[in-house]
A and B are shown apart, each in its own frame.
Chain A
Amino acid sequence: MFVYYFRLGLRSLRRNPVLTALMVLGIALGIGTSMTTLTVLHLMGSDPIPWKSARLHTVQMDSWNPNAAFAQPAEPPTQLTYRDANALMQAARGDRQAAMFRVALPVQSDNHALKPRLVTARATYTDFFAMFEPPFEYGGPWNRAHDDAHARVLVLSKATNEELFGGVDSVGKHLLIGGLDYSVIGVLAQWRPSVRFYDVVSSSAFDDPEEIYLPYTTAVETNTGTIGGQSVCWGNVPAGREAYLASECVWQQFWVELDSPAKLAAYRSFLEAYVGEQKKLGRFPRPLDVRLPDVNEWLTSQKIVSSDVQIQAWLAFAFLGVCLVSTIGLLLAKFLRKSGEIGVRRALGASRGQVFAQHLMEAAVIGCSGGVLGLLFAWLGLLLVRGLDPDLQAVARLDWPMVATAIVLSVLASTMAGLYPTWSACRVQPAVQLKI
């Protein structure tokens, strides 16, 4: 019976192609814009590491100026000082932990055809790779011994390996950084989390991950390159490197992996005790404020999903609403035009339910075709979004859940839109229509 209704629906739609085109176009435009904005919103707000986002926590401690909060209303700094990050690393009270910061390093390779260039780099500890699980193509991360020995080793991103070594297994090969010799210990496979959640302060959270990784201890010792992130200080600006490292300037990120709620509570107590000790030394003048947000809490508090994207999504859905109202009107018009045919069918024995099903199917067919066309519009829309805002390269793409959502949404929406017109069509009295 459904196949029969399907064919009936198609024939009816073909009878008035202009009206059909109008309805399909209306739904397609509405679905297209809604899916474009919804995709961006969904991917921006999605969990970048769902299998362990609840176990990874970043540390915030309020070491700030007693006269003014870091940010309104009473927010602690978004990064840690060198002193505090180091102290937490030494204490090693989490299951895993890594202090880190971003630098820009001048890199020269043996290949003289390649000009030296400034690359973005992340200075971190070995636990970074165990915690955030970037996949390796060749080799592996450095280990604790390398951290302790200030070893001059590097992990390259896939793109950097292709640029510097043509994409081959470059483990063991050498690069010059700031005139010092480093050797490659691992090369990552393609890795681009939707949000660079472990560092949303240094640069846009949607920027590519860094091009190389090196041990934190080595980076601090060699002091090459320039800090590639944000450094915020209060009080007197320190003069000289030693003073800077001892100062209250915040410029480092710190992540810790805590595998159970009990461990989370224990770590929080440890942090509060640490702040207590520091207060005795005259630091941390503000009231105690220690935070351990997990990945999603961190992304929410840092407002990763911009309000622009949210407003766009709301307006797009309002637009979809208008398209649906338009579709209701057009479907109503169409079905009422067919009153004569419906009258004949009813007179020949079709029940109200059958007429209802037939016309609902027609509405669903419109929804389906509108959905498919709408997906095309969404694809074009995302192309436009990527062109307008290069930051959104990873985030403005259709994935299978979104495609499925588009089709389901359009069929559901058009079916709902078709409910009233279909019900009106059912109420047609055969006798009235059959009179001449």
Chain B
Amino acid sequence: MEIRPILSALMRSKVSMILIGLQVALTLAIVCNALFIIGQRLERMDRPSGMNESDTFWFGSNGFGQGYDANAVQLSDLALLRQMPGIAAATSTNSVPMSNGGWSTGINLQPKQKTSTAQTTLYIVDAQGLDAYGVKLVAGRNFKPEEIKTVKFGDRLQPAAIIVTKALADKLYPDGDALGKQVYMDEEPPTSTIIGIVERTQVPWVDAEFIDYSTFVPAYMPYGNSTRYLVRAEAGRRDEVMKEVEQKMSQSNTSRIIGKMRTIASVRSDAYAGDRAMAIILGTVIVALLAITALGIVGMASFWVAQRTRQIGTRRALGATRFDILRYFQTENFIITTLGLLVGGVLAYALSLWLMQNYQSPRLPWYYVPIGFVCLWVLGQLAVLGPALRASHVPPAVATRNV
């Protein structure tokens, strides 16, 4: 394999070689980091909320006018919902996962603690709450209907019984014996007893550090004149049930406005819109970058082929086969690409370090750069194939021509 002639030919056109190498280096650095960011965002968007997202929707009711009794409306609405066909479960609630709005508070193991043992969100539901959310109970029991207290807006909640997620239970009681224990939701007594543990439910804020620490609280508690409901339809019937519910709810009570009905699937979509945008934008940049680099290699290689037509013809006349010529150009490209990739690897880690320092991203995992190497090698070889094939078709007679 004639490496030395290739190298000496390259040394004569150093600048072009440096340009291609630089392109490859920058491409590797950018593509590796961009792919890593995309991967992170996709992972983030994939996190399960713990609730049923395919059959559920929620909506609000806002009363107006004087003398509106939100507590009474809440109970009659629930009765109406639970009679409707196609509804598997319905509950009143204040918030749902990923909705970016809700209640958060601290949970303490002792009274008057200076800092909370854990931060949590409260989902204020009734006995059908767990069923409507579609979350699985892994220990203990659900709320009984008689445990659901009616609370006037602005009064203290002070639930006697609460259900927490497993993550929260493990945080509060790492030995795993949270069931039956009493915790403080306020600075003072009374305490709340953990009567049940569910597998997983996220809090409404997707960026929260305490994202898996949720608490279900048994109460009927409107927010002023406003009440919200979460409905789980029977499998496959969500959209038709949604329309019926909107109609029935609006008709049943004209002193209130039914707020926009939203599926939990669309709540998830909105919550992660920013991450999705980032992934798409970065993906577009990656594709464009690879295209530009490939086209750059094609352009440069075509130029070299045209520049060296005489030399190729001479080699062919002296006995080189078509395949030898092809191999020459592929090898030349391989050498340039390799040098570029080595520089690119260093740049990739440098870029990763810069992102870590300025934007608190995690470190680039080790396997991104080697995989990038392989991909760009393949890209380079494929890009130079066209011009190289054209070179191999240069006839030996070119060597003897004078013009």
Contacts and interface: CB of A to CB of B under 8 A. Distances in A.
Interface of A: 19, 22, 25-26, 29-30, 33, 37, 67-68, 104, 106, 108, 115-118, 176-179, 224-226, 235-241, 243-244, 306-308, 310-312, 315-316, 318-319, 321-323, 325-326, 328-330, 332-334, 336-337, 384-385, 388-391, 420, 424, 436
B22 A325 contact: yes
B154 A326 contact: no
Contacts of B20: 329
Interface in B286-311: 288-289, 291-293, 295-296, 299-300, 302-303, 306-307
Nearest to A223: B224
A179 B30 contact: no
Contacts of A308: 274, 277-278
A22 B302 CA distance: 13
A319 B186 contact: no
A326 B296 contact: yes
A388 B280 CA distance: 9
A134 B401 CA distance: 79
Interface string B74-118: 000000000000000000000000000000010000000011000
A104 to B, nearest CB: 7
Contact of A236 (B66, B187, B257): B187
Contact of A329 (B23, B26, B27, B306): B23
A332 B296 contact: no
B277 A385 contact: yes
A419 B350 CA distance: 29
- Across the A-B interface, give the 9 residue pairs with the lowest CB-CB distance, nearest first: A333-B303, A106-B64, A388-B277, A326-B296, A179-B65, A329-B19, A67-B114, A239-B156, A226-B224
B62 A104 contact: yes
A106 B295 contact: no
B325 interface: no
Given A236-B188, A306-B274, A307-B359, A115 B293 contact: no
B259 interface: yes
With most chain A CB atoms within 10 A of its CB, the pick from B33, B188, B257, B288 is: B288
Given A319-B288, A329-B20, A26 B62 contact: no
Interface residues of B, number: 61
B217 interface: no
State the majority secondary structure of interface residues on A. Answer: helix
B8 interface: no
Contact of A322 (B23, B65, B154, B276): B23
11 contacts: A19-B299, A22-B299, A25-B295, A68-B114, A115-B257, A224-B64, A239-B155, A307-B359, A319-B289, A337-B307, A388-B276
B293 to A, nearest CB: 7
B282 interface: yes
Contacts of A116: 64, 257
Given A22-B299, A118-B259, A337-B306, A310 B276 contact: no
B273 interface: yes
Contacts of A436: 402-403
B293 A333 contact: no
A238 B33 CA distance: 49
B158 to A, nearest CB: 9
B274 A33 contact: no
Contacts of A388: 273, 276-277, 280-281
A429 B105 CA distance: 80
A176 B257 CA distance: 14
B156 A237 contact: yes
A7 to B, nearest CB: 25
A322 B285 CA distance: 11
B218 interface: no
A326 B303 CA distance: 13
Given A315-B30, A329-B300, A29 B154 contact: no
Given A30-B292, A332-B15, 17 more contacts: A19-B299, A33-B284, A33-B285, A118-B257, A118-B259, A225-B62, A226-B225, A237-B186, A238-B154, A240-B154, A306-B274, A315-B30, A319-B289, A326-B292, A329-B16, A330-B300, A336-B303
Interface in B232-283: 257, 259, 273-274, 276-278, 280-282
A224 B67 CA distance: 12
Contact of B282 (A29, A236, A315): A315
